[in-house]
A and B are shown apart, each in its own frame.
Chain A
Amino acid sequence: MEFNQIIELFEIRCPGCVTVVEGQQALTVQAEKWPEVAKILSEDPDLTFDSLMCLTGYDKGTGDALGVAYNFHSMSKLHKLEIRIEVPRESAEIPSVANIWRAADWHEREVYDLFGITFTGHPDLKRILLPDDWEGYPLRKDYETPDYYHGMPIPKDKTGWE
């Protein structure tokens, strides 16, 4: 299915749920509409996006919202789709889709770990790559590296490589 046809399908099934990202083959979804859209993506016989290829958190700058990009692919229909959800930095909450695509389970934990976006309804949301007692979310642009971790000094000299 072509990208334009997917947009048309959404206009019939769920009007006003998705908006097209300018100049790109991607759709933006409001966080509160996401469970409804996700259900259509996985269950609609013309879409059947059965594979979640990648789930990326991003932060475009200190003043902006945080975002998550989902890259879907259908193994039977052989089409792709990118969905983006942006949420405000202070109350970053997105409904979890780990019960639809199990691949999202660990990927959502990773985004929570590095960006601090909470995925509501996730079965076991906790840090995955960093230690449990780590403070802050390192991939946010406004993150400041702490001076010490458990009494160990963290070197900050970046001469020669930055």
Chain B
Amino acid sequence: MAEQLKDFSLLHSDEMILNMGPQHPSTHGVLRLKIHTDGEIVSRIEPIIGYLHRCFEKHCEFLTYEQIVPFTDRTDYLAAMNMNDAYALAVEKLLEIEIPERVQYIRVIMAELQRIASHLVAVGTFGLDVGGITPFTWTIRDRERILDLFEYVCGARLLYNYIWVGGVSHDLPEKFIRRTLEFLDYFEPQIEEYNQILTYNKIFIERTADVGTLTPEVAINYGCTGPVLRGSGVKWDLRKTEPYAVYDKFDFDIAVGDGRMGTVGDTWDRYFVRIIEMKESVKILRQALAQIPDGDVHAAVPKKVRIKEGSVYSRYESARGEVGFYIIAGGKDKPMRVKMRSPAFCNLSVLSEIAEGWMISDVIAILGSLDIVLGEIDR
């Protein structure tokens, strides 16, 4: 027996399959990863999705255009304002209507506040994934203030149904601009605090720099968008490259990864792009709050949305990347087909490509840096 054990060829060294999820704290929702490993080294990952599939696209075929808005909230629940906005933009393109300037500004303000709120969750939970618990409590504390602002505007804290086709549901309350400016004054120095506790933390850099490098070619080929694409050094942001709403009136930069701590496109870069983007959003917000004109927010809201036959593909830069709505109108008050191109769906598909050859603990860090929301992937 002892003789036999010395012969290593008798030891099994097969590929092992490890299931992570669907219930696992670091999978950010109900995602199952089938990880093929050789010892501790990952050779392939098969993400298994669909646990949160709620037939969004099927539902859309039975609902009128206005009734779909609250459903878009529930796809990406961490950036619901962005989803409302993206859907409204697509329908307005089909309707070919002009939106009042005040509504455009309100939408930009809401979208940027939502982008900060969503990035705060991304940054906080990413810290949690790699072992830092305090940053999460800080980011969630600051996100609460944004949710308070949203509650002040429309009464809801998570799922808003605020941005309608052609307008918004309520005008801004009286003290909103002052309260938002107060929040920005509070929030800007906080970003430096996150940097101190997390971004430039030695352990954090060790865990993330040079890990899971995503090259620009692979990122574009897989359809990655948003901070994941920009982390790889591609200067691509729909707010700048194909401006919609009033984004062409603001002065801001596109945040890109520059390989400051290692290689361009590593996990740290993808994380840091979100930090810079929050600063840029603050910049946009200050300009928008200073310039916002007066007007009637319900002026362009159609009484009944009825669209003649046609189709449109409209894209929008949400907190997670490019949200696309492909809508085929059938000449009725209900759409014939609504397809939502989900950014996290494409971002997740690249996971196996970049996690190959890394340890299981690195997979957690890489997955955290992709910032997925399963509600949006599964729809």
B23 CB to nearest chain A CB (Å): 17
Number of interface residues of B (CB under 8 A): 36
B379 at the interface (CB under 8 A from A): yes
B305 at the interface (CB under 8 A from A): no
Task: Say whether, besides A103-B223, A131-B50, A139-B58, A58 and B324 are in contact (CB < 8 Å).
Answer: no
Task: Say whether, besides A75-B234, A129-B49, A162-B62, A102 and B221 are in contact (CB < 8 Å).
Answer: yes
A20 at the interface (CB under 8 A from B): no
Contact with B along A75-107 (1 / 0, CB 8 A): 100100010000000000000000001110110
B344 CB to nearest chain A CB (Å): 11
Is B315's CB under 8 angstroms from A53's CB?
yes
Q: Which residues of A contact B58 (CB under 8 A)?
A: 138-139
B45 CB to nearest chain A CB (Å): 13
Is B379's CB under 8 angstroms from A129's CB?
yes
Q: Which residues of B contact A53 (CB under 8 A)?
A: 223, 313, 315, 322, 324, 341
Q: Which residues of A contact B223 (CB under 8 A)?
A: 51-53, 101-103
Q: Which residues of B contact A50 (CB under 8 A)?
A: 220-221
Q: Can you name the residue of chain A whose Cβ is closest to the Cβ of B63?
A: A161
Interface of B is mostly: mixed
Contact with A along B217-232 (1 / 0, CB 8 A): 0101111000000000
In the assembled complex, the Cα of A54 lies from the Cα of B35 at a distance in Å of 28
Contact with B along A110-144 (1 / 0, CB 8 A): 00001000000000000111110000001100000
B180 at the interface (CB under 8 A from A): no
Q: Which residues of A contact B324 (CB under 8 A)?
A: 53-54, 71
B97 CB to nearest chain A CB (Å): 20
Q: Which residues of B contact A51 (CB under 8 A)?
A: 220-221, 223
A24 at the interface (CB under 8 A from B): yes
Number of interface residues of A (CB under 8 A): 32
Is B378's CB under 8 angstroms from A101's CB?
no
Q: Which residues of B contact A78 (CB under 8 A)?
A: 241
* Residue of A106, A127, A158 with highest tally of chain B CB at under 10 A: A106
Q: Which residues of B contact A138 (CB under 8 A)?
A: 55, 58
A19 at the interface (CB under 8 A from B): no
* Contact among B315, B328, B339, B349 for A103, CB-based, below 8 A: B349
Q: Which residues of A contact B350 (CB under 8 A)?
A: 102
A7 CB to nearest chain B CB (Å): 19
In the assembled complex, the Cα of A127 lies from the Cα of B222 at a distance in Å of 19
B53 at the interface (CB under 8 A from A): yes
Q: Which residues of B contact A139 (CB under 8 A)?
A: 57-58, 337
Is A54's CB under 8 angstroms from B57's CB?
no
B128 at the interface (CB under 8 A from A): no
Is A54's CB under 8 angstroms from B341's CB?
yes
B48 CB to nearest chain A CB (Å): 9
A31 at the interface (CB under 8 A from B): no
A69 at the interface (CB under 8 A from B): yes
In the assembled complex, the Cα of A127 lies from the Cα of B236 at a distance in Å of 32
B221 CB to nearest chain A CB (Å): 5
B90 CB to nearest chain A CB (Å): 12
Which of chain B's residues 121-179 have a Cβ closer than 8 Å to chain A? none
B326 at the interface (CB under 8 A from A): yes
Q: Which residues of A contact B313 (CB under 8 A)?
A: 53-54, 69, 71, 82
Contact with B along A56-86 (1 / 0, CB 8 A): 1111100000000101000100100010000
Task: Say whether, besides A53-B313, A71-B326, A139-B57, A101 and B49 are in contact (CB < 8 Å).
Answer: no
- 10 A–B contacts from the bound complex (CB under 8 Å): A51-B220, A53-B322, A59-B337, A82-B313, A101-B223, A102-B349, A106-B349, A138-B55, A139-B58, A161-B62
- State the B residues within 8 Å of A (CB): 49-50, 53, 55, 57-58, 62-63, 218, 220-223, 234, 236, 241, 310-311, 313, 315, 322, 324, 326, 328, 330, 336-337, 339, 341, 345-346, 349-350, 353, 378-379
- State the A residues within 8 Å of B (CB): 24, 50-54, 56-60, 69, 71, 75, 78, 82, 101-103, 105-106, 114, 127-131, 138-139, 158, 161-162
